[in-house]
């Protein structure tokens, strides 16, 4: 299988372009076209709208829409195309395999639990298990903010978050207002802004509803106003991934497969990893192909490594812990669910991501105030 992500035009290359812009050594190649565009720019802001990938943007905005006319290039997400992997890859300027962020929920052998990286919840029970800081302590990385501060101590560095983080903003109104206030401040600056929509709404309602179109048009309108009010700030607008409407299959539906597993799947519903009982690998692969081969591509752990599925560079020390014996990648609209009484995903998720389809992987990069 050939991975879809580009070694020169991905989220990782996008953040390495930031490092290159400030004459800081890069981990991976920058995007040359964007680097040339940023030459001489003193005030730069990268704004990430979760889930606003190419497929979503182009579905809800015509080609002549203001925001789409600002498209500089198209890039790919990481694999898996999911927020936990993609945003942290961007914020580290490294691939998921290099930093150990491989999906939403990892199996941690030291805790013998599948734990959500962002929340610390037990993925099967959907209950708090550990503080998120405890879950993340072995996969800490040096962020681009730390790198910029180290190399450019006089550069003003700003982060603008929603209220998922302490001090974040509750509404898109206050989020954009703060971006405007930062734009009014004099002197060279780098700003990173992250907003939860349209991803949050699309998960709940699917990719097509009018509500999603309204959100996309609202973001466009606010971006236009922000750019006009702050003409000396160059804004780079992008996403971490796209989404597509999905249906879920319980991993417990076929006990002849489930009985071969040490535990339920981990990482992602559409990029699931499986830890198989000893001496059952061949039988698992045979049965998986029989029941799920139409909807998922099954790769062995060695194939995952050989194909550098999770990225380039040196694998994180915990990579082998987190990747099981097999990885199943969604070919179309299906994803796995744990099938437990506490698993509400089939009831609450109409759309998802993390697979390797173009709808999930492709991202348009727009530049405002060239």
- In which region does residue 249 sit, left (phi positive, over 0), alpha (psi from -120 to 50) or beta (all else)? beta
Residue 33: pLDDT band with limits 50, 70, 90: very high
How confident is the model over 127-131, as a mean pLDDT?
Answer: 95
Measured CA to CA, the distance from residue 80 to residue 72 in angstroms comes to 24
Q: Taking all residues of the chain, what is their mean pLDDT, rounded to a whole number?
A: 96
Torsion of the alpha carbons at 136, 138, 144 and 146, rounded to the nearest 10: 100
Residue 126: pLDDT band with limits 50, 70, 90: confident
Predicted local distance difference test score (pLDDT) of residue 174: 98
Instruction: Say whether pLDDT at 367 is over 60.
Output: yes
How confident is the model over 95-114, as a mean pLDDT?
Answer: 97
Predicted local distance difference test score (pLDDT) of residue 339: 84
Predicted local distance difference test score (pLDDT) of residue 304: 97
Alpha helices in 206-325 (DSSP H): 210-229, 255-258, 281-292, 301-306, 319-322
* 265 in Cβ contact with 250 (< 8 Å): no
How confident is the model over 83-98, as a mean pLDDT?
Answer: 98
Measured CA to CA, the distance from residue 359 to residue 81 in angstroms comes to 10
Percent of the chain with pLDDT over 70: 97
Q: Is the pTM of this model over 0.95?
A: yes
Per-residue pLDDT tens digits for 41-64 = 999 999 999 999 999 999 999 999
* DSSP secondary structure letter of residue 69: G
**What secondary structure does DSSP assign to 132-195, as a single string?**
HHHHHGGG----HHHHHHHH-TTSEEEEE-BTTSTT-BSSHHHHHHHHHHHHHS-S-EEEEEEE
Predicted local distance difference test score (pLDDT) of residue 346: 63
Predicted local distance difference test score (pLDDT) of residue 3: 61
> Hey, what domains does the chain have and what are their CATH numbers?
11-94+141-242+360-368 (3.40.720.10), 99-137+247-348 (3.30.1360.180)
Per-residue pLDDT tens digits for 254-291 = 999 999 999 999 999 999 999 999 999 999 999 999 99
H-helix or E-strand spanning residue 22? none
* 318 in Cβ contact with 139 (< 8 Å): yes
Predicted local distance difference test score (pLDDT) of residue 130: 96
How confident is the model over 317-326, as a mean pLDDT?
Answer: 98
360 Cβ contact partners less than 8 Å away, ≥ 6 residues apart: 53, 55, 77, 81, 241, 242, 243, 244, 270, 353, 354
Predicted local distance difference test score (pLDDT) of residue 269: 96
Q: Nearest Cα to 203, choosing from 243, 263, 150, 169?
A: 243
Predicted local distance difference test score (pLDDT) of residue 2: 56
Q: Nearest Cα to 192, choosing from 140, 238, 242?
A: 238
Per-residue pLDDT tens digits for 157-207 = 999 999 999 999 999 999 999 999 999 999 999 999 999 999 999 999 999
209 Cβ contact partners less than 8 Å away, ≥ 6 residues apart: none
Predicted local distance difference test score (pLDDT) of residue 347: 64
Residue 7: pLDDT band with limits 50, 70, 90: confident
> Quick one: angle between helices 172-184 and 210-229, nearest 10?
20
* DSSP secondary structure letter of residue 51: T
Residue 6: pLDDT band with limits 50, 70, 90: confident
């Amino acid at each position: 299988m050939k991975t879809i992500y580009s070694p020169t035009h991905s989220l990782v290359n996008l953040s390495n372009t930031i490092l290159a812009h400030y004459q800081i050594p890069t981990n991976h190649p920058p995007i040359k076209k964007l680097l040339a565009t940023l030459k001489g720019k003193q005030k730069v802001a990268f704004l990430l709208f979760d889930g606003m990938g190419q497929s979503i943007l182009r579905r809800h905005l015509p080609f002549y829409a203001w925001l789409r006319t600002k498209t500089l290039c198209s890039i790919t997400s990481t694999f898996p195309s999911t927020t936990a992997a993609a945003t942290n890859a961007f914020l580290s300027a490294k691939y998921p395999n290099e930093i150990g962020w491989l999906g939403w929920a990892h199996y941690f052998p030291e805790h013998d639990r599948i734990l959500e990286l962002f929340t610390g919840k037990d993925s099967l029970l959907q209950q708090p298990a550990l503080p998120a800081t405890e879950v993340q302590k072995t996969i800490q990385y040096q962020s681009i903010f730390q790198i910029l501060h180290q190399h450019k101590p006089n550069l003003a560095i700003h982060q603008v978050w929603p209220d998922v983080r302490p001090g974040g903003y509750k509404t898109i109104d206050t989020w954009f207002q703060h971006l405007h206030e930062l734009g009014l401040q004099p002197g060279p600056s780098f700003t990173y802004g992250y907003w939860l929509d349209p991803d949050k709404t699309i998960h709940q309602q699917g990719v097509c509803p009018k509500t999603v179109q309204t959100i996309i048009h609202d973001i466009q309108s606010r971006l236009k106003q922000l750019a006009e009010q702050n003409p000396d700030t160059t804004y780079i607008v992008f996403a971490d991934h796209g989404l597509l409407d999905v249906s879920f299959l319980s991993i417990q539906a076929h006990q002849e497969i489930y009985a071969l597993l040490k535990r339920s799947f981990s990482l992602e519903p559409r990029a699931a990893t499986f830890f198989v009982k000893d001496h059952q690998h061949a039988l698992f692969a045979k049965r998986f192909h029989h029941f799920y081969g139409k909807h998922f591509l099954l790769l062995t752990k060695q194939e995952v490594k050989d194909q550098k599925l999770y990225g380039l560079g040196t694998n994180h020390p915990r990579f082998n812990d987190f990747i099981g014996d097999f990885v199943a990648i969604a070919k179309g609209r299906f994803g796995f669910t744990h099938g437990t009484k506490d698993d509400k995903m089939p009831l609450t998720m109409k759309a998802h991501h993390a697979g390797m389809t173009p709808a999930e992987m492709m991202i348009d990069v727009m530049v405002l105030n060239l």
